[in-house]
Amino acid sequence: MLECNEAAEINPTRLENDSFGIVISEADAVSIDRCENAVLRTAYPAMREALSEHLSGVSEKKALENAHSSEIIVNSRQYRVDGEVGRFEFKTHIVDDGDKGQYNTICDLFSELSSREYYRTVGFKEVAMIYGDTEQSYSKTAAFINRIRYQTEGGTPYRTLRENTQAEGAELIIHIEEKTRVILQQEGFSEDGTCLEHKEAYIETQPATLSVVQVTEAIEKDQRGSEADEDILQNPVSYEDPEETVNITIDDVCVKKQKETREKQRAPKKEKRQSVNNTIVHVEKGGRSYRLNGYGSKATLCFLIAFILNNDLLGYRFQFFTDGHKTLNATILKMFSWYKNIGIILDWHHLEKKCKELLSMAMKGRVVRNEVLNKLLPLLWQGMTAKAIAYLQEVPGSLIKDPGVMEKLMKYLERNTQCIPCYAVRKELGLRNSSAIGEKMNDLIVSDRQKNNGMSWSKSGSVAL
Sequence-separated (6 or more) residues with CB below 8 Å from residue 323: 251, 346, 347, 350, 435
Q: What is the mean pLDDT of residues 6-22?
A: 54
Share of the chain above pLDDT 90, in %: 49
Q: What is the mean pLDDT of residues 100-114?
A: 88
Q: Give per-residue pLDDT as tens, 316-335.
A: 999 999 988 889 999 999 99
Q: Give the three-class secondary structure for 304.
A: helix
Share of the chain above pLDDT 70, in %: 88
Which tops the pLDDT comparison, 441 or 416? 416
Q: What is the mean pLDDT of residues 133-151?
A: 88
Q: What is the mean pLDDT of residues 360-370?
A: 92
pLDDT band at 8 (very low <50, low <70, confident <90, very high): very low
- pLDDT score, position 7: 44
Tally Cβ neighbours within 10 Å of residue 234.
10
**Number of C-alpha atoms within 13 angstroms, CB side, residue 303?**
24
Q: Does residue 101 surpass a pLDDT of 90?
A: no
Instruction: Label the pairing between strands 86-90 and 79-83.
Output: antiparallel
Q: What is the mean pLDDT of residues 252-277?
A: 69
Burial 185-217 (b: 16+ CB within 10 A, else e): eebebeeebebeeeeeebeebebbebeeeebee
Instruction: Label the pairing between strands 20-24 and 86-90.
Output: unpaired
- pLDDT score, position 2: 47
Which tops the pLDDT comparison, 21 or 197? 197
Q: Tell me how far apart the alpha carbons of residues 413 and 372 are, in angstroms, rounded to a whole number.
A: 15
pLDDT band at 271 (very low <50, low <70, confident <90, very high): low
- Computed over every residue of the chain, the mean pLDDT equals 85
- pLDDT score, position 120: 95
Whether 141 and 157 have beta carbons less than 8 Å apart is answered as no
Q: Please say whether the dihedral angle defined by the alpha carbons of residues 132, 133, 138 and 140, taken in this order, is positive or negative.
A: negative
Q: Does residue 11 surpass a pLDDT of 70?
A: no
Q: What is the largest CA-CA distance in the chain?
A: 102
- pLDDT score, position 14: 54
Q: What is the mean pLDDT of residues 137-161?
A: 90
In the chain, the amino acid numbered 459 is K
